[in-house]
Amino acid sequence: MKNITRTVWILSFVSLFTDMASEMLYPIMPIYLKTIGFSIVLIGILEGVAEAVAGLSKGYFGKLSDNSGKRVPYVQMGYAFSAISKPMMALFIYPLWIFFARTIDRIGKGIRTGARDAILSDEATPETKGKVFGFHRSMDTLGAVLGPLLALLYLYFYPEDYITLFYIAFFPGLFAILASFLLKDKNNAQPKEKKSASFLVSFHYWKESPALYRKVVIGLLAFALFNSSDVFLLLKAKQSGLSDTLVIGLYIFYNLIYALCAFPIGILGDKIGLKKMFISGLSLFVIVYLGMGLSTNSYVLIGLFLLYGIYAAATEGIAKAWISNITDKKDTATAIGTYAGFQSICTMLASSLAGLIWYQFGASETFMVTGIATILIVFYFVFWVRLQVEN
């Protein structure tokens, strides 16, 4: 495992435990929300608003991390917020409380994202960014395999006992917090300057950022504007006649493919160029969404979820590795936090829009609109984003 340092291993295990907790709940979340009275539109708004609130904090905390020269405290605090949000979801079923608990979870992600990815970037060279980010994504997504498996096992013995799962999910989150205390900031991580950061720092950084960064991020955000929550894929599978158990099983399958592919795809991305790898991933996304819009066959759905796992492996870590290679090292957390923040706002709009289209026109139209829009975004990256250095 050359180039995978002790710090990368620790961060990867922290992410694994956190994702185990989050993904234990993710596939049953839409089912649980519907049992307590949430409509499909309200589910879309819940997912979108939670992501947007968190998004506004990503650039801000990334900038604080860059200014202070500290990474680890933000990582620890962020994972702690996500852990405590899990049992909160089960305490009350009032919509406002559910919104609050879900938002606490996402704010935790906002606090840690920029600092964590800056640590990963510092542990790699420009030639190994895809490998390091890919390894982290593989470990992170392994948690997304183990979490739903535990949920599936529990629901087999205690069908529809969703509330207890929210309490169980606290424990892997606690392990993540404990593991994060093994991390240490580098001795050379000194503050670049002492000055405060505005909560709207993302907008300020956008004006100051390199032109290449803005050109790439515009394309990434255009895609995020149509890439709604995975909740809609699970609802599509449910609507196609699959049982709760099979829906969770399909989600586990997708994450397993994602976990297995992220590391080797990251290595391949370093060799062929991160831009080419990202475009390949978007092309798979188009196939998946058009397929979802045209078919309800169970076997076709399985094949599409397999392709969806490969798409995720070819885009999630690759995008952040790409961004870290085209920005100044001293602004890494701010640059990634700014992108992730704007991405969350776009996700809010995408999820809300998807919920409305689904409600007004149906599932097929929702997926077809997204698939066609993504084709245009592929053309943008192929013909308009011309980089002097491919990765």
pTM: 0.81
In terms of pLDDT, which residue wins out, 353 or 388?
Answer: 353
For the stretch 240-252, pLDDT in tens is 888 777 887 888 8
Cβ within 8 Å of residue 282, ≥6 positions away: 223, 311, 315, 374, 377, 378, 381
State the average pLDDT over residues 62-85: 88
State the average pLDDT over residues 42-51: 68
Alpha helices in 198-297 (DSSP H): 201-208, 211-224, 231-239, 244-272, 274-294
Percent residues over pLDDT 90 in the chain: 33
For the stretch 360-373, pLDDT in tens is 888 888 899 999 99
Do residues 85 and 104 make contact, with C-beta atoms less than 8 angstroms apart? yes
Q: Is the confidence at residue 289, as pLDDT, over 70?
A: yes
In terms of pLDDT, which residue wins out, 359 or 282?
Answer: 282
Measured distance CA(348)–CA(103) in Å, rounded: 12
Mean pLDDT of the chain: 84
Cα-Cα-Cα-Cα torsion 191, 193, 196, 201, nearest 10 degrees, comes to -90
140 torsion bin: left (phi>0), alpha (psi -120 to 50), beta (else): alpha
Q: Is the confidence at residue 390, as pLDDT, over 50?
A: no
Smallest CA-to-CA distance from 28 within 163, 120, 168 is with 163
SS3 for 360? helix
Please report the pLDDT score of residue 389 as a whole number.
42
Burial of 385 (0-12, 13-18, 19+ CB in 10 A): middle
Please report the pLDDT score of residue 18 as a whole number.
92
For the stretch 19-32, pLDDT in tens is 898 878 876 776 77
For the stretch 104-149, pLDDT in tens is 888 888 889 889 999 999 898 888 999 999 999 999 989 888 988 8
State the average pLDDT over residues 172-190: 82
Other beta carbons within 10 angstroms of residue 164's beta carbon come to 12
- Nearest-Å Rg of the Cα atoms of the chain is 20
Q: Is the confidence at residue 226, as pLDDT, over 60?
A: yes
Domains and CATH numbers, the chain: 6-184+201-384 (1.20.1250.20)
